[in-house]
Structure 1
Amino acid sequence: MDQLRQHTVIDTPYEPFTLVATDGVLSGLYMTGQRHRPAEETFGERDERPFGAVVEQLEAYFQGELKEFDLPLDLHGTPFQRSVWERLRQIPYGETRTYGELAEALGNPGASRAVGLANGKNPVGVIVPCHRVVGADGSLTGYGGGLTRKRRLLDFERGTALF
């Protein structure tokens, strides 16, 4: 049975985000020029109806009022990728973790590189906060949306910058 895919584009203080839903549940949040961004033709028809709660929570986040998203997600990936994405959701607002810390938390301390690859394939950035993962020395490393965007998100969450 075919799944219904819909999308919309919303303005944020950051830049436009493309939101994608599969059968009415958020399955993608993509930034302009994002690495691993699927082809536009896979997003389905443009329709704003499935995204009311998503838009409300993103607006509250960018106003500094929301620290943790509470949205149903339809994430497609390998079991390992999904376990990494679930672990990302446990990183508190304004904090960071290293790839090594995530690998260790997943019970596989030697999997830092695999965690990084899974992190980079996260289909719903910001909501699943892959921007909160840093290198072993605390440096900013890889981000599908670019390091400038990662720095802006981290600075915003730490209260050192506004959008």
Structure 2
Amino acid sequence: MAGVIRLMREDDAGALAVLTGAAIRTTGARAYAPAQVAAWVARHPGPERFVASAAKGDIILVATDAADEPVAYVLLEPGGHIDMLYCHPDHTGRGLARQLLAEAETRSLAAGMTRLFTEASELARPVFARAGFRLVQRNDFTVAHAGRNVAIHNYAMNKPLS
């Protein structure tokens, strides 16, 4: 892995959509049941979501490999909300999430934000905790999928910035 962390380019959007699906289906399956994974992945639309997010002012930081292909990303909304943090399954365990969160924090501080917050999956929770995020609460909810409501959960977490 000899890439960099950079801002998303519009031509990255397709790769980010594919990466997201792969992460949910493969990595997510380590902590969530098949019905939960199916409902989760169905909530993530295609490349247009990333283009629209960037257009409205969200910061999407992308970690790339040596060929400048996206392998992980974080989506930071202007109010300090980290909406997404995903790493392609072939690139997990290399510190990319930590690096992306550190860069998101640096940019947040520069923009005058006083905190970051997120809703972390079961698997992302320890990553955020290692980055200094504190658990606020577990969120239990349902997602409509395939004609039924699928129970799932995540964790509200935040980090004060100073």
What's the TM-score, normalizing by structure 1? Answer: 0.26
